[in-house]
């Protein structure tokens, strides 16, 4: 990722990260609305969709997703950024392995993250491609950790 690309990511990220929990909640709500089986993995699986936005554990996961992305975007462009990204996302993958989150679920989330970022930041096609490149890199790390574990699907 070159420095123009890193700058673009950092600049556009300011918009969703200004309201982190709401941004994460918008992403998760889309995930559960479009792909409801993902909801089964969560302790709030029995809460109706229309009541989820006020549920504290729902809001906690929403905020956590954004925080992990924020940490990743902050390290971009610093010395050792690739290694740090590797650590951050291997940890996410590892803590999720006992929950048996499939690659398909991760990919569903990825598509929605890209859509919501594109809308929230009014990304044009080439800007969206830069974000896709970052997400592809992150997902390579997650999927490698899953494959190395040999346990998850
Ligand atoms: C790829 C982006 C994701 C990030 C950054 C992320 C981040 C986190 C973090 C930081 C936690 C809390 C720490 C922990 O227990 O591991 C967590 C918990 C959890 N995550 Fe994720 N997650 C992601 C994707 C997913 C996906 C795709 C699913 C399944 C559909 C999922 C399901 C869960 C569940 C069920 C919990 C426990 C929630 C609770 O007990 O309240 N996560 N996640």
Task: Measure the CA–CA gap between 140 and 149, rounded to whole angstroms.
Answer: 14
Each residue's pLDDT tens digit, 34-72: 999 999 999 999 999 999 989 999 999 999 999 999 999
Q: Which residue's CA lies nearest to atom 15 of ligand 1?
A: 95
pTM (2 d.p.) = 0.94
Domain boundaries, the chain: 3-149
Quote the ligand 1 centre to 63 CA distance (angstroms).
10
Question: Could you tell me if the CB of 101 is within 6 A of ligand 1?
Answer: yes
User: What is the sign, positive or negative, of the torsion defined by CA atoms of 65, 39, 129, 18?
Assistant: negative
Question: Could you tell me if the CB of 58 is within 6 A of ligand 1?
Answer: no
Quote the ligand 1 centre to 92 CA distance (angstroms).
8
Name which CATH class applies to 3-149. Answer: mainly alpha
């Amino acid at each position: 990722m070159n420095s123009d690309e890193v700058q673009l990511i950092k600049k556009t990220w300011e918009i969703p990260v200004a309201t982190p929990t709401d941004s994460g909640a918008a992403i998760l709500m889309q995930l559960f609305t479009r792909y409801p089986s993902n909801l089964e993995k969560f302790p709030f699986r029995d809460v109706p969709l229309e009541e989820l936005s006020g549920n504290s554990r729902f809001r906690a996961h929403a905020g956590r997703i954004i925080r992990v992305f924020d940490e990743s975007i902050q390290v971009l462009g610093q010395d050792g950024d690739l290694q740090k990204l590797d650590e951050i996302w291997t940890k996410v993958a590892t803590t999720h392995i006992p929950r048996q989150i499939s690659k398909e679920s991760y990919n569903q989330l990825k598509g929605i993250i890209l859509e919501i970022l594109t809308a929230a930041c009014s990304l044009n096609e080439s800007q969206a491609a830069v974000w896709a490149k970052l997400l592809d890199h992150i997902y390579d790390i997650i999927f490698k950790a899953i494959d190395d574990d040999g346990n998850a699907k």
